[in-house]
Amino acid sequence: MVTKDMMCYKNGAGKVDRNQGRVHSKQVYEATKEALDRRGVTIEEISKIVFEMQIAYNVGLTLEHCMESVESVLKKREMQHAILVGIELDELAEKKMLSEPLQQIVESDEGLFGVDETIALGSVFTYGSIAVTTFGHLDKNKIGIINKLDTKVGNGVHTFLDDLVASIAACASSRIAHRTRDLEEQNETFADITPEETAPETKIEGTTT
């Protein structure tokens, strides 16, 4: 049990709240989901990309399994921070609030800019090499909603958002690929598990969750 004393420490000037200045995980998670929603990107649209990336390797895989995987990826701080930074910059560019020449570079999605890919790639590393190679594939081939965002269907600046969606989809795909191996070792496929059981810890001997 966490007591009030455990949350504080003495620095000579008295007790200081250790949590001072920190943002609660739930708040960051909610802000991330809200930001994607505001920009018209749904969990289902991202999951469709994951499904397309993984169906060839996974018997019984459903869109619901992919949605579970996307939701799980969105719970990682690494991913949340990238999404919040990228979307903020897109929105500031739309409002013409960036200073020049950055305003023009972001607004026009200047070909040599690359910071959008770099931020998205940073959060991909958490999920290993399959995530990295899938991200490269999506960056090049722009599947599903990534294509819509990249080709600027409708108005708005999506310089960062298209890469962030590729990053989320790549991570969720990698997570499924790793789950496949666990299932194979138990002579099972995705056809044998519910979406809730997509999490790596479920139905694995020796784990309790």
Residue 176 CB, nearest approach to Mg ion (Å)? 24
Residue 125 CB, nearest approach to Mg ion (Å)? 18
Residue 22 CB, nearest approach to Mg ion (Å)? 31
Whether the Cβ atoms of residue 126 and residue 57 lie closer than 8 Å to each other:
no
Q: Which residue ranges make up the site for Mg ion (CB under 5 A)?
A: 116, 159, 162-163
Residue 21 CB, nearest approach to Mg ion (Å)? 32
| C-beta closer to Mg ion: residue 68 or 116 | 116
| C-beta closer to Mg ion: residue 131 or 157 | 157
Task: Tell me how far apart the alpha carbons of residues 150 and 148 are, in angstroms, rounded to a whole number.
Answer: 6
The closest residue (CB) to Mg ion is 116
Instruction: Report CA torsion sign: 177, 86, 72, 24.
Output: positive
| C-beta closer to Mg ion: residue 8 or 92 | 92
| C-beta closer to Mg ion: residue 147 or 189 | 147
CB-based contacts of 138, cutoff 8 Å, min separation 6:
49, 53, 146, 166, 169, 170
CA dihedral 109, 33, 80, 174 (to 10 degrees): -90
